[in-house]
Amino acid sequence: MNKHKLKVDLSEEVLGNINKPEGNPSDLLLVRMIYEQNANHFWLEKGELFNNIEHPELPLVFEATEWEHPDIIEDELPSDSEFFRSLAKRLDNEEVEITTGQVNTDWLNWLEEDQLVETLDKWPEMIETEVQIANFEEKYRVTGYNTLYKIDFSGPYEWVSKAYAEFGQDMKNSLILRISEDIEEDLYQLSWKYKKEHGIITTESTDEELFEVLAMEADQGYLSMVFLYLEGEYDKNREIAKIPRGGACFIWEINGEGAYLAVNEERR
């Protein structure tokens, strides 16, 4: 977790003493135990948080790990929470003191866990929309397509698996641009075979685990990836990937959970 190896005590004594209501589903019990014993590693460093917003120069207004959260299942709004009301006032007036309200963020306050488990099991729908983007080639360094689709998913869960099932199994190779140290470390840990030349990584095949790792990297804005259905060309001088006739490529959208599908519909 955040480059730290976590240790978790799974002894019978600890399992027997963990505070849980009778009849509560146990699907996420291990997650709770990991968090309770390693809580500090699950919170991002403030510097990393600020680097992922549009205005990193903004000052830190308030920091907390507990607060009064609205019960969205019961149609409560943030305006129903004393914490969010005071936070809104504080943003308007520096002299206002922020109060956390009646703290309820401990998991014991949220027993409708079966709804969460049910949601996790749902397979998301894929939404495919034809689009035109003027600076697409400049931003994603891909050319040779005549049709571009925006790919979105109906839910936040299992969307990587859905994307791999739809596109990943037939991909012949991939180009990974804007390489970060993290992505190379991840590829090494996966024992993934790849070639690197002029800052570009190419792989001959993909699998769902690789999809998941690279999707998380793209979501953080660290890289862009061009997964080619057919082996395409890469112009090292212009730094552009070209889709062959009858080919297509799947591109994770940087800083987002969606993707693009660029297609060259000219048949050989």
Q: 192-221 pLDDT, tens per residue?
A: 777 777 656 677 667 787 777 777 766 666
How far, in Å, CA of 97 to CA of 14, rounded?
39
pLDDT of residue 268: 43
Q: pLDDT > 70: what percent of the chain?
A: 73
* pTM beyond 0.85, yes or no: no
Average pLDDT over residues 41-55: 78
Residue 67 binned pLDDT confidence (cut-offs 50, 70, 90): very high
Pairing mode, if any, of strands 233-235 and 200-203?
unpaired
Q: Give me 25's structure tokens.
A: 């589903």
How far, in Å, CA of 51 to CA of 56, rounded?
6
* CA distances to 67, 169, 211, 217 from 188, in Å: 40, 21, 15, 15
